[in-house]
Structure 1
Amino acid sequence: MLWKKILAVAVVTGAMLLPALAEQPQVAMYGYHSEVTVFWDPAYSFSNEIIWMHNVYETLLRYDPFTDQFQPVLAEGYERSEDGLTWTFYLRRGVKFHTGREMNAEAVKGAIERTISLGKGAWYIWDAVESIEVVDDYTVAFHLKYPAPMDLTVAACYSAFIFDPAYDHDWYLQGHDSGTGPYTIERFEGNTLMVLEKFEGYWGGWEGNHFDKVVFKTVPSPSTLRLMVESGQVDIAYQLPVSDIQALKDNPNVRIVHTPSFQNLLALFNTQKPPLDNPLVRRALAYTIPYQDVIQGVLAGYGRQARGVVPYGLWGWSDRVKQYTLSLETAKLLLSEAGYPEGGFKLLLTYVSADENERRVAELWKSQLAKLGIELEVRGMPWDSQWELGQAPDPTKRQDIFLFYWWPDYAHPHSFLSAMFQTEEEIVFNLCYYSNPLYDELITRAAELAGIDRAESINMYVEAQNVLMEDVPGVSIYDMEYVRAVNAKLQGYVDNPAYPHVVWWYNCWRG
């Protein structure tokens, strides 16, 4: 088995670190709790696969939310017109796609236009774009319908990848890639194992310390993942239960990395299925969540109760947004008003089966609901099965509560407020099946203002979030902090919350 060979390299003792080892490829392993691939096509990508795609594909810029600065990647520089309607990017020369073709302005235009035309993933981040102009071989200009922060857009976590536009969707489904990044696909096994190898023609070169290969492996059992971290088989674990993190703190072979995040946990209500089609019932349920017990008991304080949908630390968060608290008395009054004074109904909550934190949150919530005569079935499912159930054609066949995380497709409040709550004809991530024309208008206008008047844009996003708090199509439970168990020998690792769970493996090595 491949990972056993990797283990043999990872745990070799100091006495064996002889010239023979230098001939062995340096291999890193990322242990992930769920499927490592949901979408293969970079224009479709909108899920877990970003953990490896950002090592295969690149964007024009990369955003650092801690400094609010942009780093050049495929673009070496850029400028904005005075009216904010034209953004010009100057491309890096000498960059090759893994297909052998040159990355130039025509390719950038083709990749982005393909993403927009397909309408998949986070394609809506390009809504402001009216046209894309090839100025010359290495200069591309974006002409906008309204001023928008295009530096954030081209640096997005999703739907901003620059790829060779010569290939179609079926080609990607065969396991090919067409990126410019430091790594390319070597092999894979379904959606649970991805092996990348270094791309010899990478524009950044291979001088210095770098991994030759990176393995992304699904490890659904938290206890197994912990053992793999302790033994050195895994260099970084996506997420371990807090109890395991606490136990690993004194292990000299493990380093605990704690950073802020733009990720939150949400419970989306099926607004098209009784009794949750009644906003009074939804509001009642928002008062039954034991928020503080979750923060302390599940997260051990590594997080905070959410206030609205936009996470703490990201612009658009505001203390002017309403926040629910645990109040069974208020919940009972609302249930009585809705015609359910004794509860008397059953709800189905789904979550990703390998996520221990989600399971524990659901169980704590279940115990509170039982006090009001509401039975909550807590069902763990593989992510693809959970999502498939959420998209069932008949709303009555779907779950009642969809528990899951959201992280940004780009560092913008629209990322949180659009995909999950804006009206959708075809269900993708609006898994509460919510539609409110006033809400849609507010976030559309806020997005249009973001490039010229951020303060007023924030005001409108706050108003939109308070509409959600009143209608309660879902509840944001907590804004999490990232706490990761990392091999103590891993060097160069920096967590960037604008690119959740992405490790830039080219910048890492094992010391």
Structure 2
Amino acid sequence: MKRRDFMKTSVLAALATAASSGFNLAMAQGNGIFTLAYPTSFPDLDPATSFSNDGAVLANAYEGLTRYISATETEPSRIEPLLAQSWEVSEDGLTWTFKLREGVTFHDGEALTAAAVKGSIERTRQIGGGASFIWSPVVSIEAPDAMTVVFVLSEPQPLDLIASAGFAAWIQSPASLSQDNAWFNAGNDAGTGPFRIVRYEPGQRLVMERVEGYWGNVPEGAFQTVAFEIVEDVTLIQNMLESGQADWGYSVPFENLDLMKENPDLKVVVNPSFETLFGLYNTKRAPLDNPKVRLALSMAFPYDDVIMAGTAGLGTRAKGVVPTGIWGHDADAPIPPTDLEAAAAILAEEGVSGLELVMTYSTTQEISALAGELWKANLETLGVTLTLQPMAWEAQWQMAKSDPASAQDIFVMYWWPTYVTPHDYLLSLFRSEDEPLFNLGYYSNPKFDEVLDEAARLSGVDRPKAEEMFIEAQRIVVEDAAAVFMLDRPNVHIIRSDIKGYTDNPAYGHVTFVGDMSR
């Protein structure tokens, strides 16, 4: 994240700017406004193509057929009805029938119908951008009556889960289907959610106003306005939260959290996220084509030190590919410990000495840089030289996709799911690819591919068996030491303590459902 000079802008000044769009300033003042200090901009507000931080906005303006509710200490995860009030699946898992909720209208006044659902998903598939791939199993979509949508699939898949995705699953008004990307990115929206966009200043702020007659629950004292203030300076985010200029924020330095926890006006919410940090080994280059050498390098990684120094102890040790909280997580994965003596013995046994490696990572990832420095120090004791190469994400990715022979030795990045399924992690990162996209360690194991494909096929008809097979597939990857699994990053959000109804849902990264909240 680049740091730039940022003039402090009061919330009321932002609202005054929005007044020319018909924004009700009087309604927004006092308890009626919820302000988010957001550290990134919103590159794409088109519900068909959005695949970035803009999900934080779209989740308040649009809705999908279903919503994923993450597990708690007392309750398992579940999928709850949203625009669909019920659904059923055929015995073979190939036909899904959704019954829509009555009495829902889009922001332009049009009623929610099966034709609107069909048109929204078909527009997303036709454009083919963003996360449109989630609909790839769909062969056809039919609307036998105004409130019934029928999906026919090419193979059994958990369509209720797919429909809960935080990208590419939004339903939009029929009148907006012919609009282009520029129309949405001018600050127009066409959803059914509790808020509509009334002002958008790219790179600075976005303001939303509550929709009258919203179909869902509106809590007593509900917020009437949502203001996203885009603040790239993390110190300023902290100042805004402490002064009351902002109600919610994240990216505050971990070392400052203890002080913020002592502030009675603030609540620091820490939960596991679905983001895992890992380094993919270049399995096409000697000696990294040897699983024993890869294991030795992983045993030199200082897992506990990185968690403590990089996340103030709030992160957790990754147990392989799929993080805690997602079905298919392998709590008993045979992950290697930090053991420099054992690592040295393996390298000696394999005849490896004087090894020189290059690790690439995004310039915005401070934890990756720290992890690299600590790992480098451990590897030096083994006679291994690790060169750290921070790069802009686009450059890092393009280099890795070009040619494994000239690419990096270790590719470091975060991964989180498009929707909550182990298949997303395993398919994207480790299934054999002719042309690398995200399998940037170039890993290929026919047995893994076979198990993964069967698990995916079963996921729509036999979840327990699919979960067993997803874990089996992960064991193959872990035992092959295809990657060093560094840590599962925590979700850390700071919210004003007088806010009611806030829930952190890691299925939707850094998304706040303001419609459920009040002061």
Q: State TM-score, norm by structure 2.
A: 0.83
Checking the alignment, whether the CA contact within 8 Å between 2:357 and 2:409 is kept in structure 1 is no
Tell me if structure 2 keeps the 8 A contact 1:351–1:402: no
> Which position in structure 2 is the counterpart of 1:394?
402
Structure 1 residue matching 2:511: 3-state secondary structure: coil
Correspondence list, 1:104-503, <5 A: 104-164=113-173, 165-169=177-181, 171-172=183-184, 176-190=188-202, 193-200=205-212, 202-204=214-216, 208-271=220-283, 276=288, 279-336=291-348, 340-343=352-355, 345-353=356-364, 355-378=365-388, 385-392=392-399, 394-395=402-403, 400-424=409-433, 428-503=437-512
Q: Which residue of 1 aligns with 2:52?
A: 47
Aligned residue number for residue 4 of structure 1:
9
Return the alpha-carbon distance in structure 2 between the equivalents of residues 427 and 167 of structure 1.
Answer: 33
Distance 1:507 1:365, change over 3 A: same
**How many angstroms does 1:216 deviate by?**
3.3
Deviation of 1:86 after TM superposition, in Å, equals 2.6
Distance 2:317 2:133 in 1: 29
Query: How far did residue 69 of structure 1 move?
Result: 3.3
Paired residue total? 495
Distance 1:301 1:2, change over 3 A: closer
Measure how far apart 1:446 and its partner are.
0.2
Q: Which runs of 5+ in 1 are unaligned?
A: 11-19
- Identity of matched residues, %: 40
Q: Could you say what the CA RMSD is over the residues aligned between the two structures, in angstroms? A: 3.3
Shift of 1:120: 3.9
Q: For 1:109-157, what per-residue CA distance to the aligned partner results, in whole angstroms no more than 9, with x for missing partners?
A: 1222333444444444334433222121111112233433222121122
Q: Bigger shift: 460-469 or 40-49?
A: 40-49
Q: Is the 8 A contact 1:267 1:477 kept in 2?
A: yes
Query: Residues 238 and 272 from structure 1, CA distance in 2 versus in 1: closer, same or farther, beyond 3 angstroms?
Result: farther
8 A Cα contact 2:139 2:154, kept in partner: yes
Aligned to 1:30: 36
> Greater shift after overlay, 298-307 or 285-294?
298-307
Shifted more, 431-440 versus 83-92: the winner is 431-440
**Matched-pair contact (CA < 8 Å) for 1:390–1:399:** no
Distance change in 2, residues 1:435/1:55 (3 Å): farther
Shift of 1:180: 2.3
1:86 and 2:86 are equivalent in the alignment: no
CA contact (8 A) 1:80 1:87 kept: yes
Aligned partner of 1:77 in structure 2 is 86
Gaps in structure 2 of 5+ consecutive residues: 1-5, 16-24
Describe the SS at the equivalent of 1:42: coil
Shift of 1:387: 3.5
Question: Any idea what the Cα deviations from partners look like across 1:297-354, whole Å, max 9, x if unmatched?
Answer: 33344232111111123221124532122122343345456664123x242331352x
- Farther-moved stretch of structure 1 (211-220 vs 487-496): 211-220
Q: Counterparts of 1:379 and 1:196 in 2: how far apart (Å)? A: 41
CA gap 1:335/1:216 in 2 versus in 1, 3 angstroms: farther
Q: TM-score with structure 1 length normalisation? A: 0.84
Question: Aligned AA for 1:50?
Answer: G
Distance 1:433 1:240, change over 3 A: farther
Query: Aligned pair in 2 of structure 1 residues 220, 435: CA closer, same or farther (>3 Å)?
Result: farther
2-structure distance, mates of 1:472, 1:194:
45
Task: Give the letter for the 1:464 counterpart.
Answer: A
In 2, distance between residues paired with 1:391 and 1:88?
Answer: 41
